[in-house]
């Protein structure tokens, strides 16, 4: 789930536990252009305090007024739509033709937010089901392929780390990449068997594994929601990880280094039991060619390319090969 929506759940849980009246809205359907995706959340406290967003516009303002007045759902969940007509879409700041359908849920101690957040913190993938008639909530395991579903009677939402990122190497660049990736809802794991690097790793929320890279890749049982980025500049470590990662279903496998170094790496990989199609999956030099020089810039370039691939966007090289080399020389 989106880290912004995770913060919504945390704020809503804290407000409910402090005795405040809280309404949570979930986007369940959109038509036309929509400012937030299906599953986006917002929570509104009885005094108008708001966390999250379902529109980025006046929809929240309208709901705040209704929550303050006590008009917006009291005992049982309900649905509402915004932007049904062009005039209403304009009034609520929605894109032209945009329409949102929301499930509005009055939250209580029995809404299961504390259990939900506890399981998310354990890195579990969780499905929360809301019965629209009774308001009863049940929480159970989910799969990474489970979508949000709403049939009018039950709202089923999926929460937790759908996406995983394995970073080989615990250096300075890994620090920025791990921190930024967590903001994009990746469950981050760092692998580095070198004591001089691993002993200094202290990024909260990012697990550290000291095993050999090929063993760690195998142990993680990578799936289509996984990414691997090798950052050590040491072929003995990076190549070990790549040999396993390129055979996995991981949606993204990248390696740091210049174009020349990555061409040499591909030649080395070809000497092992990898097919040309598997080797062709390697993103190296890693990241979009943004002219990145500093570690934070390179981390942004890597995550930008991962985001594009994750969203099914084809990323062409910039210009001629020589220009691409110049633009990407730092990574």
Q: What would the 3-class secondary structure string for the chain be?
A: CCHHHHHHHHHHHHHHHCCCCEEEEEEEEEECCCCCCCCCEEEEECCCCEEECCCCCHHHHHHHHHHHHCCCCCCCCEEEEECCCHHHHHHCCCCCCCEEEEEEEEECHHHCHHHHHHHHHCCCCEEEEEECCCCCEEEEECCCCCCCEECCCEEEEEECCCEEEEEECCCHHHHHHHHHHHHCCEEEEEECCCHHHHCCCCCCCCEEECCCHHHHHHHHCCCCCEEEEECCCCHHHHHHHHHHHCCCCCCEEEECCCHHHHHHHHHHHCCCCCCHHHHCCEECCCCCCCCCCCHHHHHHHHHHHHHHHHCCCCCCCCCCHHHHHHHCCCC
Degrees, nearest 5: CA angle 165-242-250: 45
Q: How far apart are CA 166 and CA 220, in angstroms?
A: 9
- The pLDDT confidence band at residue 241, using thresholds 50, 70 and 90, is very high
Instruction: Identify the residue with better confidence: 59 or 137.
Output: 137
Query: CA of 313: how far to CAs of 126, 245, 304, in Å?
Result: 28, 21, 11
- 30-45 pLDDT, tens per residue? 877 667 788 999 999 9
| pTM assigned to the model | 0.64
Q: How far apart are CA 30 and CA 298, in angstroms?
A: 35
Residue 67's closest CA among 16, 22, 26, 17? 22
- Rounded to an integer, the average pLDDT of 203-216 is 94
- Rounded to an integer, the average pLDDT of 295-302 is 97
Sheet holding 154-159: strands in order across?
Answer: 137-141, 126-131, 154-159, 149-150
How high is the pLDDT of residue 58? 73
Q: Is the pLDDT of residue 223 over 90?
A: no
How high is the pLDDT of residue 93? 60
Beta bridge partners of 104: 25, 78
Q: How far apart are CA 296 and CA 283, in angstroms?
A: 19
Q: Is the pLDDT of residue 88 over 70?
A: no
- Rounded to an integer, the average pLDDT of 196-205 is 90
Residue 39 backbone zone (phi > 0: left; psi -120 to 50: alpha; other: beta): left
Report residue 141 CA to chain centroid gap.
Answer: 18
- Rounded to an integer, the average pLDDT of 121-130 is 88
How high is the pLDDT of residue 43? 96
- Rounded to an integer, the average pLDDT of 209-219 is 96
How high is the pLDDT of residue 215? 96
8 A C-beta contact, residue 288 and residue 305: yes
Mean pLDDT of the chain: 88
How high is the pLDDT of residue 89? 59
- The pLDDT confidence band at residue 321, using thresholds 50, 70 and 90, is very low
- Rounded to an integer, the average pLDDT of 15-43 is 89
């Amino acid at each position: 789930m989106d880290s912004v929506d995770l913060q919504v759940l945390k704020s809503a849980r804290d407000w409910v536990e402090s005795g405040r009246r809280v309404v949570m809205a979930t986007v369940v359907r959109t038509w036309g252009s929509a400012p937030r995706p299906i599953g986006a959340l917002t929570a509104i406290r009885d005094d108008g305090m708001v966390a999250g967003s379902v529109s980025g516009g006046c929809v929240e303002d309208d709901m705040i007024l209704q929550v303050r007045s006590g008009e917006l759902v009291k005992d049982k969940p309900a649905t509402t739509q915004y932007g049904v007509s062009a005039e209403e879409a304009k009034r609520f700041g929605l894109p032209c033709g945009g329409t949102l359908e929301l499930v509005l849920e009055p939250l209580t101690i029995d809404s299961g937010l504390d259990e939900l957040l506890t399981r998310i913190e354990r890195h579990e993938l969780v499905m929360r089901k809301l019965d629209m008639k009774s308001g009863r909530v049940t929480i159970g395991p989910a799969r990474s392929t489970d979508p949000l579903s709403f049939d009018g009677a039950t709202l089923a939402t999926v929460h937790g780390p759908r996406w995983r990122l394995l970073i080989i190497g615990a250096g300075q660049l890994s620090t920025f990449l791990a921190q930024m990736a967590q903001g994009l809802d990746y469950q981050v794991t760092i692998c580095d068997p070198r004591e001089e690097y691993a002993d200094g790793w202290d990024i909260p929320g990012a697990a550290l594994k000291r095993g050999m890279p090929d063993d760690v890749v195998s142990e993680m049982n990578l799936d289509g929601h996984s990414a691997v980025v090798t950052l050590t500049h040491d072929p003995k470590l990076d190549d070990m990880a790549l040999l396993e990662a390129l055979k996995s279903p991981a949606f993204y496998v990248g390696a740091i280094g210049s174009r020349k170094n990555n061409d040499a790496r591909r030649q080395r990989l070809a000497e092992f039991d990898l097919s040309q199609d598997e080797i062709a999956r390697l993103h190296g030099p890693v990241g979009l060619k943004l002219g990145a020089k500093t570690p934070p810039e390179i981390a942004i370039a890597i995550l930008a390319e991962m985001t594009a691939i994750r969203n099914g966007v084809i990323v062409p090289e910039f210009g001629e090969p020589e220009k691409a080399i110049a633009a990407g020389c730092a990574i």
